[in-house]
Chains A and B, each alone.
Chain A
Amino acid sequence: MSTVLLELKNVKTHFTLSKGVVKAVDGVDLKLRQGEILGLVGESGCGKSTLARTILQLTPSTKGSVKFAGKSLGNLTSKQLRKTRTDFQMIFQDPYASLNPRMTIFDTIAEPVQCHKRVSKQTLTNRTLELMNKVGLDPRTIKKYPHEFSGGQRQRIAIARALASEPKLIIADEPVSALDVSIQAQILNLLSKLCKDMGLTMIFISHDLSVVKHIADRIAVMYLGKIVEIGEASEIFEQPRHAYTKILLNAILTPPDIALSEYRVPFS
């Protein structure tokens, strides 16, 4: 069995608001092996994004520890943390919102490469072209700006940038839910191929079990800030144990027209 890359112990992230405390993440234990793709599913608001931001140290945790490659991230100084950050990258839901509109594709993809070391322009260009090729972007578009691309292409740019710093872990937060169904499959295939080829470890977040099914080795089901069930993807589908997992499964197994009819408003 390969080594453990990421280990969470009783991680809690609470937000104190004037209305009270929101327990967005409320005691999560999780182990992620090197090279594994974990699907993280759960309904909107259950704390998936907050868990991701906590792992990446973008949101401080209230309790618990996040260990990455044996190092406890909470104990790092901000300078050490900045160095370590290149080891984990994030891909966001809306690729337009996460690409700087003032930066060309070259600048965008090259940025993480230059962030921590000096690199010659030629090396940068080669590296950028190589990454563009990897994610299936036309090399002639290297000087273009994000708004000149379609949603699917923008997501490819975001993926190329995430790969640029040669990370060990990628967290993809609903990377396809803003895209057309036809393009979703392309991006999913790309991500899955890249992970296999490059031996990447990935947490793939979605509120939709049917999306996760195709890509994940293991699936974790999150509900109200806790992971209520975790197991091999096939296991979750064949023998769901938690009631909430069954509800999620029902949602994808129900033919859409039946599901819709329940919400139909009768004419009067």
Chain B
Amino acid sequence: MDSTTLTALKITLHCASLATFLVMIPGTWIAYVLARRDFPGKNILSAIVGLPLVLPPTAVGYLLLQLLSTEGLLGQNRLGFDLNILLTWKAVTLACAVMSLPLVIRTARVAFEGVDPRLESMARTLGHSRIKTFFCYTLPLAFRGIFAALILGFTRALGEFGATVTIAGNIPGKTQTLASAIFTAQQVGNQTEAYFLLGIALIIGFVAILVSEYLSQRQTQ
């Protein structure tokens, strides 16, 4: 394995983990709100957070690019300083986070919906506060499903290509990930390398899906 391949693997794991970590709390919170609260515009919020799931990843990337470009809402001219995200590992992480958020929310929402609301009512009548009810009842009961959601999100982040290439590019040793390395290897006709990368991707994906399936099944029991 040459060093750029190794770096690509490192960047992939590093950025995907970080993205999953970033998505964890907001994703769980939005999932809980969507599962339990009723408010005007709930369907619209649900649609917005689900959007990256149905849009072409390159479109999401393009949107992020507009946002972060010098003239954009989060650009240098608007903020007065440069966030310095584009074409760095931060862009890879951002793309991964945005693309995996909807998947995390959807799966975690199902997990929360699987917790009987009467248990929460019960906890409240026993004198627990809303927050304690959430942390002592809802969260532990939905935990497996949420964990599965995070693993799915992590897997999605590992495979992210379209949005990543659009805002982070495909710079070997800097922003090249497993996905973009496979693309490059195939483009330049380096078959051995392509096969090798494919093998790694297969193993990681396979394990992640097995674990998340196992966890979701255990919760429904």
**A196 interface residue per 8 A CB criterion:** no
Q: Is B126 an interface residue (CB 8 A)?
A: yes
Shortest Cβ distance from A144 into chain B, in angstroms? 17
Given contacts A100-B137, A100-B141, contact A165 B126 (CB under 8 A): yes
Main secondary structure of the interface of B (DSSP, over half): helix
Instruction: Judge whether B118 is part of the interface by a CB distance below 8 angstroms.
Output: yes
Q: Is B3 an interface residue (CB 8 A)?
A: no
Residues of chain B at interface, number, CB under 8 A: 16
- A86 on the B face (CB < 8 A): yes
Contact across chains for B127 and A116 when beta carbons are under 8 A apart:
yes
A80-119 CB contacts (< 8 Å) to partner B: 82-83, 85-86, 88-90, 92, 94, 97-102, 111-112, 115-116
- For B125, the chain A residues whose CB sits under 8 A away are 56, 58, 85, 88-90
Contact A82 B129 (CB under 8 A): yes
Identify the interface centre among B126, B128, B140, B141: most chain A CB within 10 Å of its CB. B126
Task: From known contacts A90-B121, A100-B119, A102-B140, infer whether A111 and B129 are also in contact, taking CB-CB under 8 Å.
Answer: no
Could you say which residues of chain A place their CB within 8 Å of the CB of B127? Answer: 82-83, 85-86, 112, 115-116, 165
Task: Please indicate which of the listed interface residues B118, B127, B140 has the most CB atoms of chain A within 10 Å of its own CB.
Answer: B127
Q: Can you give 24 contacting A-B residue pairs, CB < 8 Å?
A: A17-B38, A53-B121, A56-B125, A58-B124, A86-B126, A88-B125, A89-B125, A89-B126, A90-B122, A90-B125, A92-B122, A94-B118, A97-B119, A98-B118, A98-B119, A100-B119, A100-B122, A100-B137, A101-B141, A102-B140, A112-B126, A112-B127, A115-B126, A161-B126
Which 3 A/B pairs are nearest by Cβ-Cβ distance? A97-B116, A85-B127, A115-B127
Please report B residues at the A interface, Cβ cutoff 8 Å. 38, 40, 116, 118-119, 121-122, 124-129, 137, 140-141
